[in-house]
Amino acid sequence: MPRARSAPLAGCLVILASSAAALAAFAQGPAVPDLSGTWARMTFGLEPPSSGPGPIANLTRTREGRSDGNQLVGDYNDPILKPAAAAEVKRQGEISKTGTAFQDPANQCAPQGPPWILRQQEIRLMQERDQVTILYMLDGHVRRIRLNSTHPANVKPSWTGDSIGRYEGDTLVVDTIGMKVGPVTMSDNFGSPQSEAMHVVERYRVIDYADAKAAFDANEKDFGRVDTANGNGVFIDFDYRGKGLQLEFIVDDPNVFTAKWGAKVTYLKAGGIWSEQVCAENTREYYDDIDTKIPAAERPDF
């Protein structure tokens, strides 16, 4: 996917000086888990859920048996897909087989909402008294999650939807509805569609290093490590031995899927500086040596 050359944000995103400062704003309230920080992983793949159906698999494998990230052919025979959704996944896979990437939110510089955005490799999670903010490195996406709130009676669809959160013991639970659907909106890497009926529930918690590393390694074994030399610039702190952050989410869209499905994403501490990567400022697809076909004005607005 196209990426701008990485550049530091000169500290402008360092809103919270430390985890202690992040929690101080609501220290007098009920105890909450410290999930704040910058977290990273080095694949785009999803891990299996704790139970129940998981994400659809890639039918194309590498010689080593890994999911082939250069040819995304989703399993359109997966029973979790309704007929129309299966047909769309098959159509996108046929495009991918030709060696051309099908259009998705990333390579079209389009807005990313859940669950698609949950595939991103580096996030910054900031906790405040009344909201949690999640920043996503790639393309500068931002999500704001209202704490201890309710969804409006009539939600106006938006690209990231309406997200409300609450703490359940050591876990932050995020409930999102009202996702807007656009020309390249999709649920996963394989082009599974989504409708405005989609409902996503995310659960974030810290886990022990050994458990996080085991999940991290298993995910890399199946999907392979994204090469940071290609300009992505995302990597973990390889010397870190502290807690990891694990996200488990459930997707429910009765217009697309026959049942709810889930997945996990496990992060370790990020190893590099937070950088600015803006898709629309670099539309050259380095891996195919072509320009991304994104909308362009043919004449001035005035």
User: Per-domain residue ranges for the chain?
Assistant: 19-291
C-alpha 167/C-alpha 89 separation (Å) is 36
Q: What is the pLDDT of residues 259-285, one digit of tens each?
A: 999 999 999 999 988 877 777 666 666
d(CA 169, CA 289): 49
Q: Per-residue pLDDT tens for 226-272?
A: 765 455 668 899 999 999 999 999 999 999 999 999 999 999 999 98
Q: Say what the pTM is.
A: 0.84
Question: What pLDDT shows up at residue 143?
Answer: 97
Question: What's the pLDDT at 288?
Answer: 59
Please write the tens of the pLDDT for every residue from 174-219. Answer: 999 999 999 999 999 999 999 999 999 999 999 999 999 999 999 9
Q: Which of 87, 90, 42, 95 is nearest to 71 (CA)?
A: 95
Question: Average pLDDT of the chain?
Answer: 86
d(Cα 158, Cα 161) in Å, to the nearest integer? 5
pLDDT at 285: 60
Strand, coil or helix: 20: helix
Q: How far apart are the first and last CA of the chain?
A: 32
When pLDDT is averaged across residues 94-120 and rounded to a whole number, the result is 92
Does position 29 have pLDDT exceeding 80, yes or no? no
Q: Which residues pair with 37 in a beta bridge?
A: 125
